[in-house]
Amino acid sequence: MTQTPGAVFRTATVPAGEYTLNYAEAGPAEPTATIISLPGSAGLEMSTAKDALAERYRVIEINPPGWGDRDDVRTRFHQSELGPLLVEAINQLVDGPFYVLGTSLGGTNALYVASLLPDQVLGVILDASMAPILPSEDLREAPSSGPAPEEGEYPLPEPHPRKPWGTKEVIARQMANRLRLFNWIEPDMQATSAIATIADRKIPVLALLGDKDEILHAGQEQRFREQLPHARFHLIEEGTHDLQNTAPETFVALVKEFIAPAARG
C-alpha cells in the first residue's frame, strides 16, 4: 500500500482574528520559493503532490476557520470575508513573496488572498478551482437515481487506486465536513472583485483541471478565457477532482514549470 502522504510536514497553529488556524509546513533548508496552499472544503489534507513540492519549495497549507474537522464558526460568512483572515495568518508565517495554491473551494480563497496582496503574490495556482465558474454550465449534475442531493452535496467518489488511504470511511467523513461547512458559508464561485484585481495587475495564473473531474466540466476553460485571458489552463489526463493524488506527476511538473522563471530570477 502506498504510504499516506504528509510524513515530512509538521503541524502548528497561528492566530487570525478571533480564530486559531491550524496549518502544516514542510520544505528544504534553502527553498527556491514559498507556496501557500489553501485546501478545499474537506479541509487540510496532505497529498502526494505536496510531498514532492516540499522537496524543493517551502509549502504551507493553512486550514481556514470552519474548514475540515474544525467546528469553530458560529456566524454565517460570505466567502470573501475569509480573505483578510487568511492574509493575517500568512503575514505571520511568510516574510516576502510567495505563490498561492487554491484547491477546489479554496480556489476562491486563493483569488482573494492574491487580490489583497498583489505585490507579494508571484502567482496563483488554481487546482480544480470552484471559481470562476457558472454553476448552471460548469458543474456536473448529480446522478438521477437515488435520493436528491442536499444543497451543496456532490456525488460521493469511489476510492481511487492512487489514493489507497482514501477509504470509503475517509471519503464519507470528508463529505460530512463539506456539508457542515455549507451550513455557514456562502460560497463565492465568481470571486468577481478578486478576479478583476488579478486581471488588472496581470498576476500570473495557472489553472489545472482533470479530464475525469467528478464535479467540474472541462468547459470551465471558457470561464478563464473570458475572465482571466492571461491565465494558463491545462486539462490533465486521468486527473479527478483530487488532482494532487490522482495525477501528481503532471501536477507537480506543471507547478514547477510555472514557478521556474521567478525562481531563476
* Residue 4 belongs to a domain: no
Check residue 151 and give its pLDDT.
41
User: What is the tally of structural domains in the chain?
Assistant: 1
* Residue 228 belongs to a domain: yes
* Residue 38 belongs to a domain: yes
Record the pTM. Answer: 0.92
* Residue 3 belongs to a domain: no
Distances (CA, A) of 45 to 118, 154, 173, 231: 26, 19, 13, 26
CATH of the domain at 108: 3.40.50.1820
Q: What is the CA radius of gyration of the chain?
A: 17
Domain extent for 208:
10-142+149-264
* Residue 212 belongs to a domain: yes
Check residue 3 and give its pLDDT.
80
Amino acid at 172: A
* Residue 34 belongs to a domain: yes
* Residue 2 belongs to a domain: no
Check residue 262 and give its pLDDT.
59
* Residue 5 belongs to a domain: no
The per-residue pLDDT string of the chain (265 residues; one tens digit each, 9 = 90 and over) reads 468 999 999 999 999 999 999 999 999 999 999 999 999 998 999 999 999 999 999 999 999 999 998 889 988 999 999 999 999 999 999 999 999 999 999 999 999 999 999 999 999 999 999 999 999 999 986 443 333 344 445 556 677 888 888 888 888 888 888 888 988 999 999 999 999 999 999 999 999 999 999 999 999 999 999 999 999 999 999 999 999 999 999 999 999 999 987 554 4
Preceding omega of 143 cis (within 30 degrees of 0): no
Distances (CA, A) of 61 to 12, 49, 58, 222: 11, 13, 10, 29
